[in-house]
Amino acid sequence: MTIRHRIYDLLEPTEGDDLWGRRVDIFLMMLILLNVIAVILSTVEGIHSAIPRAFLVFDWFSVVVFSFEYGLRVWSAVENPRYRAPVLGRLRFMCSPLALVDLVAILPWLLPITGADLRSVRAIRLLRMLRVFKFSRYSRGVHVMLEVIRARKEELVAALGMLVTLLIVASTVVYFAERHTQPEVFSSIPASMWWGISTLTTVGYGDIYPVTVMGQIFGAVVSVGGLLLVALPTGILGAGFVEEFEKYARQQELDLSQDAAPSTVEVRVAGACPHCGQSMVGSEG
C-alpha cells in the first residue's frame, strides 16, 4: 500500500476496523464541533471581549488543519476510481459539493483582505463526518435516506410540483382579495407568498392574515389543502423507508440462511474395487 493510498483510507475510510481512521474521524469531528461552539460563543460580547486572542489563535489553528486536510484530500483523490486521472480527476474532485464546502471553510485564510467571517460554514462539513462516521446506525441511516430519495424522486417531484402550484394560486387569489384592504401587507403576489407558505405549512405566524370575507374563506380552503399536500412527501418518504428496511431485513435473512446452510464437501476417492479389480472414483459429502 502506497502512502497516498493510506492517506486516502484515513481521510475516506471504508467500513472496517481501522483504528487510525477512526481517530482521524473523531479528531476532525471534534474540531468541527469546537468551531461551531466558538462561532456561537464569539457572538456573546462579554465572552469574546474577555478572550479575543484565544478565539483568534483557535481560528487560525483550525484554518491550518482544514487547509492541510483539503490539500491531502485533493492529492489522494486519484485513489478513487471516479477521479483516477491525475489532473482532470483532481479538478473534478475539487468541483464536487463536499470539496467546495472544504474550500469555503478555509477561505478566510486564502482571502484575508476581504475580512469575511466564514467560519460558520464549517458547520456544513458535518455532512462529511456523517458519511464517514464509523457507528453503524449513522452510516446505515444515511444510506437508507439517500436510497429512499433516489427511489422516490419522481413521486417527490410530483408532490413538490403540486405544492408550488397551490402556493402560486393561493398567493394570487389572496393578493386580489386583500390588496385594496391591506395594500402595505399584500403589496404584490411575491409578497403574498409569505402568507401562502405559512398557511400551506400550517405554521401560521400571525404576522400576515386576510381580513376580508373572501380572503378568510379562501385562507381556510388553503389551510385544509395544505394539510393534505404537505402530508404527501411525509407519506412517500415513510413508505420508502419501510420498503427499504424490509429489503434490508430480507437480505440479512438471506445472508444468514446461506451462512447456516450445511456445506457439502466433496472428497474424491480413487482406488480399485476389491471384487472386480477395476478402478473407481467416488465422492463423500
pLDDT at 279 over 60: no
pLDDT score at 172: 93
pLDDT at 177 over 50: yes
pLDDT at 282 over 60: no
Question: What average pLDDT does range 106-131 have in this prediction?
Answer: 55
**How far is Cα 99 from Cα 104, in angstroms, rounded to an integer?**
9
Q: Average per-residue pLDDT in the chain?
A: 78
Residue 132: which pLDDT band, with cuts at 50, 70 and 90? very low
pLDDT at 53 over 70: yes
pLDDT score at 136: 43
pLDDT at 239 over 50: yes
pLDDT at 284 over 50: no
Instruction: Count other Cβ atoms within 10 Å, centred on residue 119.
Output: 20
pLDDT at 121 over 80: no
Question: What average pLDDT does range 42-68 have in this prediction?
Answer: 88
Residue 90: which pLDDT band, with cuts at 50, 70 and 90? very high
pLDDT at 268 over 60: no
- pLDDT, greater one: 116 or 233: 233
Question: What average pLDDT does range 217-239 have in this prediction?
Answer: 86
Residue 244 corresponds to which cell in the numbers above?
Answer: 427499504
pLDDT at 166 over 50: yes
pLDDT at 135 over 50: no
pLDDT score at 120: 54
pLDDT at 194 over 70: yes
pLDDT score at 257: 76
Highest mean pLDDT among 199-203, 208-212, 241-245: 208-212
pLDDT score at 178: 92
The model scores a pTM over 0.95: no
Query: Which domains are seen in the chain, by residue range?
Result: 3-131 (1.20.120.350), 151-260 (1.10.287.70)
Q: How many alpha carbons lie under 13 Å from residue 176 in its C-beta half-sphere?
A: 6
pLDDT score at 15: 55
Residue 266: which pLDDT band, with cuts at 50, 70 and 90? very low
